[in-house]
Structure 1
């Protein structure tokens, strides 16, 4: 799955920089960044951090969104948003929580890397995964605007789409309680905009589903890091990504 990420401001600026959109760059730096929880060296989705996303509604206008999608029909976000941090790609067009967003509200989330836990005997060992070329990772996401029925507040929320894990992730993400290894859907360079194209019919759905593939392990790197949970957790600091060696555990990929 994908519950822990590293996301820096410069990385989330990638799309605006790519398009040389000076207005969007200034808007993010001078205004939007203050509305987010950046910098995020390590954050878990269960903290529901505020990040920057690019939506299919206006692909060149970033918005602040909170991790944990709340569907329009939800009466209370607390009952659902811990369950919607990730969306299984195989079911997004059928599952009630995601099917409306899968058709009409898709987004991109740019991150530096993500963390996954490896089960080694009685110990749980965290890994940090990033692109080998250290370029930003574009994740496929779903979003929704939810209106709090009690306060009238409009909250923008998102979920990260996941798919079957590649061979490297199959070794790392070996949770015995899960049906199989998972990983976030990483969109290859040049295909990000394909995820934001309009949905009109089943043919468009098939084209979108074609994007929900495991990212090649040859383009990813991974290394073990310090504890992310419990009393020994490193916290939201740059040291969260520093390599840490564990006995009898493969330290790098």
Structure 2
């Protein structure tokens, strides 16, 4: 599962980093707001690249709302958690199956948070991909689904069974968000893929770039604390995992 993310880079850095992705530009630059911590249950905006518009980045409310729930989206979100979608069942779930075939997307991030359990206590860990240019965490792309209701976009992050690294981090439920490898990004947008091909991509398309993870402040789990601040990604006393 992935209910908390980070996207700390300013607009210019995001666009520069994605220039090799068909000259991607943020469609509404005045509405772009980077963040250190976004809690999915606030249904704030993630930033996505849609399947049918490869060169534009749009804000999309976190928590996909299917067409059949558009008449009362607030009530739907009270009853249904669509912040994540399990990759193994997206073609079976009514909330996701239409989007799985026709409305796949890429979701921008440069970090996310997962709970690591020790002695029955959940400890938040920040997960990121360090590079020489961005040691604090490079930009990466989640596999996602989206839907469009009137002019509002909503989205969900796909999850898969955890690999060896994330089985140690997210050691209770052993899931991880699907961060796509650069080599499969174009395939993810291929409208000619059938369900079997999409399932295979989700099973084997996780990024080959190495992740790191370290424990961060348990403020992340406290109500009434503003955690959208730089300190929330900083390592606390415990050493970096692995």
Which interval holds the TM-score relative to the shorter structure? 0.7 to 0.9
* Shift in Å, 1:123: 2.2
Take 1:169 and 1:217, find their aligned partners in 2: how far apart are those partners? Answer: 13
Aligned match of 1:124: 122
* Shift in Å, 1:118: 1.1
Take 1:217 and 1:240, find their aligned partners in 2: how far apart are those partners? Answer: 26
The change in CA–CA distance for 1:195 and 1:216 in structure 2 (over 3 A counts) is closer
Take 2:225 and 2:165, find their aligned partners in 1: how far apart are those partners? Answer: 25
Aligned match of 2:3: 3
Q: Which of 12, 31, 34 in structure 2 is aligned with 1:35?
A: 31
Aligned match of 1:156: 153
Q: Which runs of 5+ in 1 are unaligned?
A: 148-153
TM-score, normalisation: structure 2: 0.85
Is 1:252 the counterpart of 2:241 in the alignment? Answer: yes
Take 1:218 and 1:57, find their aligned partners in 2: how far apart are those partners? Answer: 27
The change in CA–CA distance for 1:16 and 1:243 in structure 2 (over 3 A counts) is closer
The change in CA–CA distance for 1:189 and 1:66 in structure 2 (over 3 A counts) is same
Q: Which of 105, 108, 131 in structure 2 is aligned with 1:107?
A: 105
After superposition, the CA RMSD in angstroms is: 2.3
Is 1:189 the counterpart of 2:179 in the alignment? Answer: no
Take 2:233 and 2:44, find their aligned partners in 1: how far apart are those partners? Answer: 19
TM-score, normalisation: structure 1: 0.82
Aligned residues: 230
Q: Which of 208, 224, 230 in structure 2 is aligned with 1:238?
A: 230
Aligned match of 1:96: 94
Take 1:63 and 1:72, find their aligned partners in 2: how far apart are those partners? Answer: 19
> For the Cα contact (< 8 Å) 2:116–2:124, is it kept in 1?
yes
